[in-house]
Amino acid sequence: MTSIPVHAPRRPVDRPRVEELTRQLLLALGEDPDRGGLKDTPRRFADWWGEFLGLDPGRLTTTFAQEGQYGGFVLLSGIEVWSVCEHHLLPFRLDVSVAYTPDAAVLGLSKLVRHLEAHTHALQLQERITRDVAHDLAKAAGADDVAVFTTGEHLCMSMRGVKATAVRTTTMCRLGHTESDPALASRIERLALPVRA
């Protein structure tokens, strides 16, 4: 079993400062931060940011030696994660599928999800998450044959602007044979991408 640290720690959230700024924001929005429903909102908001940005994903890479050749691919689908858009500070939800072809070792399945969490607990872009997770998993697996597919619902698009509530954004990053081998790419894509009615 092998563990590889991938990410450097972030600066901690200054919770008292976020709490004070939230009080100021409520005042600027014409609200009374001292009324019953809002009295604890600045503290709760600061706590949430601290928890969200301060997530420790734990051990990111655990591998297990593989006996013999597997000859196929491993696919995790139906993974749901949340992040926050760095352009509008509004949440977005991703449905994610991750596939890779094991070489001499297989990755611990929970570690595939932990890699996602390490990237989504930040001010982010869907495209960056997709690309960075694929490259991190290729490094962890010791093989380039990795594909990551994300389908996102962005509140910055459904709550504001065009208010397009049914729109979903799909991004993918395919590395190695998951890109260069059309048959493999097609098999993975059929299983990874959700079918819409």
CATH number of the domain to which 109 belongs: 3.30.1130.10
The pTM is what?
Answer: 0.85
pLDDT bucket at 85, cuts 50 / 70 / 90: very high
Helix (H) or strand (E) holding 63: strand 63-65
Quote the pLDDT of residue 26.
Answer: 97
Residue 60 DSSP SS3:
coil
| Same structural domain, 70 and 47 | no
Query: Does residue 24 lie in a domain region?
Result: yes
| Same structural domain, 72 and 163 | yes
Q: Is the pLDDT of residue 123 over 70?
A: yes
- The C-alpha atoms of residue 154 and residue 164 are separated, in whole angstroms, by 9
| Cβ atoms within 10 Å of 147's Cβ, excluding its own | 28
Q: Is the pLDDT of residue 37 over 60?
A: yes
**How many domains does the chain divide into?**
2
Arithmetic mean of pLDDT, 58-70? 65
Quote the pLDDT of residue 5.
Answer: 38
| Same structural domain, 158 and 87 | yes
| Same structural domain, 94 and 160 | yes
* Tokens, residue 94: 């991703």
Under 8 Å between Cβ of 127 and 173: no
CA distances to 98, 106, 130, 136 from 133, rounded to whole Å, are: 9, 17, 6, 5
Quote the pLDDT of residue 108.
Answer: 83
pLDDT in tens, 169-179: 999 999 999 99
**167: containing domain:** 66-192
Q: Is the pLDDT of residue 146 over 90?
A: yes
Query: Does residue 9 lie in a domain region?
Result: no
Arithmetic mean of pLDDT, 12-32? 96
Arithmetic mean of pLDDT, 192-197? 67
Query: Does residue 37 lie in a domain region?
Result: yes
| Same structural domain, 45 and 103 | no
- The C-alpha atoms of residue 105 and residue 127 are separated, in whole angstroms, by 28
Quote the pLDDT of residue 9.
Answer: 63
